Amino acid sequence: MSVECNYEDAINALKSEFLREFQHANIKVHRLIDALTAISGYAQLVKLNPERSVDELPKIMHTVEKCMQMLRGCILNLKELERKYS
Question: What confidence tens digit (pLDDT) does each residue in 44-64 have?
Answer: 988 899 888 888 899 999 999
Q: How many other C-beta atoms are found inside a 10 Å radius of the C-beta of residue 63?
A: 19
C-alpha 38/C-alpha 64 separation (Å) is 10
Q: Which residues of the chain have pLDDT under 50?
A: none
Taking the model in full, what pTM does it have?
A: 0.71
